A and B are shown apart, each in its own frame.
Chain A
């Protein structure tokens, strides 16, 4: 991040305004050590441990049907919950930013609820509602539907946990866009759907993509809530994070870390994509600033070259 005018290399900053050398070295070194111990080292350990007995041993993990099933289940759960939350998030942020209604602040608070509630509690809550002894348990049982300790429960837990990601990214983006463009479109005869597709979405597409990315990363990595509702049945209700835990508890370290590196690689890819998106969004914002400054340019009336 560059701050105009506060460049440390630049001579524009007076000596007095600078921190002394020792303090800068101390702060930067401190930050690096912190990052190294808490972030880089654990991440490296994952890969090192996975490859301890060679690449072949690590790859063998993925020959196991339970491991393959866990990966497939994780993709399935993410594949269901991300699109669902894309729609929910879009609807919620559209409602919150483009309309005024009673209970708007309540809705905003509710959107954030999954962030503030411990995932374990969310899982327990689902058991309370859909479990065999829960509110809807007997009814679901008589219909032959199983939600808890089955895939639907895992999907529900994941949807709940990842609900805020898309909405949280979209709300500020839509807010900064204002409502005038949509109003102009209405007056020109556009329907709600046409406005969403042609005016609103193109303007927030990067924020939307960013939200989907974060939502996906969390959907694939969620442990707590999924752990409570899954029942840990191998080959049936084990997602990748749950499978890692089981393998680890069985002292099968190579397999555990090999599975974990799948998640780690996913995290790294997400990070790269996120950085690229941020860079892109920043450029768009600079363009907006540029636009605002140009706003004051004198314009000439009459034919122009």
Chain B
């Protein structure tokens, strides 16, 4: 092993610790009497029992899953249509469309959050879960469309031509040939959209009403009632269990689609 390899491994190890250490600490503290070290009365389930008295925390996770699921469904459909159009057709104004599509991707969330919510409030629409979904669809469309465009480009067009030569119509070809073939790409796009929605806090704090998604709930409790932080550490392990499940699912799908 060369000197530079050892150096690389040290740096990599440090960066991995930087990434995983915070989460480990969170789990550790959720089983501790206080939300700092050294350990006191460890391990205790006190905060998990306390958590049961905060139904809003559990609901927040539920709302997060709901918002992310609906967002994913919509963004994937937008992405399939847009991706197909970008890769396979020469529709009018393609250049303008790609420019427009990238806008939400390169705009800070705070600009979109403030613009959308101040506009909707003026129109008489109040913040709610539906407004969060509307915002999340906006920020996920560019990602699903880009991922699916590259999948459509990579797909061998002769398969579709063969289906059409054999007498299948445009729609049948799409449904029976194209769609099954890009299913792995659809899955990657779906997971990307899900994560973006699931982890967003900056846009959602503008758009959330009384029903808050999990990140917004954590943020507002942390800012307004810091003494409830131990509850949040207990809540975080619920989120983490979902996260681990999601991570495994994503890895599996990536493997299959690679």
A and B found bound together: no
Residues of A within 8 A of B (CB): none
Residues of B within 8 A of A (CB): none
